Amino acid sequence: MFSPTALRPRYAKWLIATGLFLMLSGCVDKPNTLERVKEDGVLRVITRNSPATYFQDRNGETGFEYELVKRFADDLGVKLKIETADNLDDLFSQVGKPNGPVLAAAGLVSSEERKKQVRFSHPYLEVTPQVIYRNGQSRPTDAGDLVGKKIMVLKGSTHAEQLAQLKKKFPGIEYEESDAVEVVDLLRMVDEGQIDLTLVDSNEVAMNQVYFPNVRVAFDLGDASNQSWAVAAGDDNSLLNEINAYLDKVKENGTLQRLKDRYYGHVDVLGYMGATTFAQHLQQRLPKYEQHFKAYAKKEKVDWRLLAAIGYQESLWQAAVTSKTGVRGLMMLTQNTAQAMGVSNRLDPKQSIMGGAKYLSYMKDQLDESIQEPDRTWFALAAYNVGSGHLDDARKLAAKEGLNPDKWLDVKKILPRLSEKKWYSKTRYGYARGGEPVHFVANIRRYYDILTWVTQPQLEGNQVAEGNLHVPGVDKTKPNVENPPL
Find, among 131, 123, 128, 83, the residue nearest to 103 by Cα.
83
Rounded Cα distance between 287 and 451, Å, is: 12
pLDDT computed for residue 469 by the predictor: 26
CA distances from 61 to 82, 102, 291 (A): 10, 20, 25
Beta bridge partners of 45: 82, 103
Rounded Cα distance between 471 and 138, Å, is: 31
How is the chain split into domains, by residue range? 33-125+227-264, 129-222, 275-455
How would you label 446-459 residue by residue, b for 16+ Cβ within 10 Å and e otherwise?
bbbbbbbbbbbebb
Rounded Cα distance between 224 and 129, Å, is: 7
Omega of the bond leading into 129 within 30 degrees of 0 (cis): no
pLDDT tens track of the chain, all 486 residues? Answer: 445 555 455 555 655 655 555 555 455 568 899 999 999 999 999 998 777 788 765 456 778 899 999 999 999 999 999 998 888 889 999 998 888 999 999 999 998 889 999 999 999 999 999 999 999 999 999 999 999 999 999 999 999 999 999 999 999 999 999 988 888 889 989 998 999 999 999 988 877 776 677 889 999 998 899 999 999 999 899 999 999 999 999 999 989 988 887 777 655 566 656 767 887 888 889 999 999 999 999 999 999 999 999 999 999 999 998 876 678 999 999 888 999 999 999 999 999 999 999 999 999 999 999 999 999 999 999 999 888 999 999 999 999 999 999 999 999 999 998 877 788 888 888 888 888 899 899 889 989 988 887 776 543 333 333 332 222 333 333 333 332 222
Number of helices followed by number of strands (H, E) in the chain? 19, 16
Choice among 177, 290, 314, 369 that is catalytic: 314
Find, among 353, 349, 377, the residue nearest to 440 by Cα.
377
pLDDT computed for residue 1 by the predictor: 46
User: What topology is assigned to 33-125+227-264 in CATH?
Assistant: D-Maltodextrin-Binding Protein; domain 2 (3.40.190)
pLDDT computed for residue 450 by the predictor: 83
- Strand runs (DSSP E) across 129-269, as ranges? 129-134, 151-154, 175-178, 198-201, 215-220, 225-232
The answer to whether residues 208 and 217 touch, using CB atoms and an 8 Å cutoff, is: no
User: What topology is assigned to 129-222 in CATH?
Assistant: D-Maltodextrin-Binding Protein; domain 2 (3.40.190)
Strand-pair category, 198-201 with 469-470: unpaired
Find, among 273, 259, 263, the residue nearest to 209 by Cα.
273
112 flagged as catalytic: no
- Do 129-222 and 275-455 share a fold? no
| CATH number for the domain whose boundaries are 275-455 | 1.10.530.10
pLDDT computed for residue 22 by the predictor: 52
Give me the sign of the Cα torsion angle 177, 182, 184, 188.
Answer: negative
